[in-house]
Amino acid sequence: MKNIITKLKYILPATFFVFLISFLIISTTQAATLSAVYLFLSRLKVNLTGASGQEVEMILAIDTASAIPSGGTITIDFPDAEDGMWCRTTGSLTTVSQGSSAADQSGSNWQIDTGLPNSGTALSAVCTQGSTGTTDRITISNVGALTAGTTYGVKVSNGVGLLGTDDTQGEHVITVSANSAGVPIDSKSFKVYLATDDVAVVTATVSTIPSVNCSISANAVNLGTLYPGGTYATGSHTIGTSTTGAGYYWAVYGTGDGASDAGLWNGDTLIPSGATATLDLTNPSVYGFGLTFSDPDSTDPATVTTNFVNTTTGTFGTIDRLYSGAKLVLYQAGTQASAEDSTVIYGAKAQAAATSGTYTEYVYFICGGYY
């Protein structure tokens, strides 16, 4: 019994020591988990080759759980079954320390605090293609000391090496590791998603805004001298119109004596435009004021309204007072690329009781378009 107890005194401590050493070895060879990481890809489309128009850039944001000494590396590993897809051409990559990215989440560990430092030698990166048992890998070298709780950013893009994407839609496992002396200290695996297409093509048509151009050739027309009970006198000017819309219109109204009717007014006597739709001033018993419009064309759809056509000499259409009494005189349904003119003829005849003086009527023209 004493021999057994004596042996146990030596066996038990030795066994515990071996167990403790094994635990320490196992613990020191297992990487911790990164505190935060994201990989911001410039493209999510499947089967990009890295050639012109199909380039892939990546911004890596990484926050380690452990302090990583200077001179380490960061690796990005892609699925073993996708060899040669993520690293389309083996070779050096362009590497830029990145202080921010569009994927940053403000106030969190997923916001880049500072660009990835170098060890005193400029950062460099290379992509290598995997084969059976190995993976496509991006290795970033000459990394400076990393402090836990700080999120660092770095961008890699094409150089001699060309980056691409796998040819299968769906999830793909990525593993990012922060390494010292070739040994992973912190790492994390996550999935990225590739789509059959990552572009929304947005189109729009800019068209010229439709418009109408209206012109009046003269703003003063003198009918000459009228005599009480005498014959009628006339005067004229033109109006011009062009439009890129669906048509145009002209309307007119007058002011007259400011109370009863439109027409020529001298402050005492009104030569009225009249209560009837038209005035035949060739009739000895008829007097008043009116106007006509010529058809601007013979083939296009411009139309002079019935009361204002100029086909009967001496007959004129009558107008009313104010905007509320405006009358349509000319219109067209259809575009009019080049300006076309209509001749406006004013006709007036004084009644026998007309007093002498200067008579005036203000004829307001309204022009617009149909759109």
- List, in order of start, the domains of the chain with CATH numbers: 32-194 (2.60.40), 212-370 (2.60.40)
Query: What pLDDT shows up at residue 335?
Result: 84
Do the Cβ atoms of 76 and 175 come closer than 8 Å?
Answer: yes
CA angle 211, 215, 219 (to 5 degrees): 150
Query: What pLDDT shows up at residue 206?
Result: 92
Query: What pLDDT shows up at residue 20?
Result: 34
CA atoms of 144 and 130, how far apart (whole Å): 27
Query: What pLDDT shows up at residue 294?
Result: 96
Q: Which residues in the chain land under pLDDT 50?
A: 1-30
- The β-bridge relationship of strands 170-180 and 183-194 is antiparallel
Query: What pLDDT shows up at residue 339?
Result: 86
Q: What is the pTM of this model?
A: 0.65
Query: What pLDDT shows up at residue 22?
Result: 34
Query: What pLDDT shows up at residue 16?
Result: 40
Query: What pLDDT shows up at residue 274?
Result: 83
> How far is the CA of 86 from the CAs of 119, 173, 202, 296, in angstroms?
27, 12, 29, 72
**Within 13 A of 216's CA, how many CA atoms are on the CB side?**
14
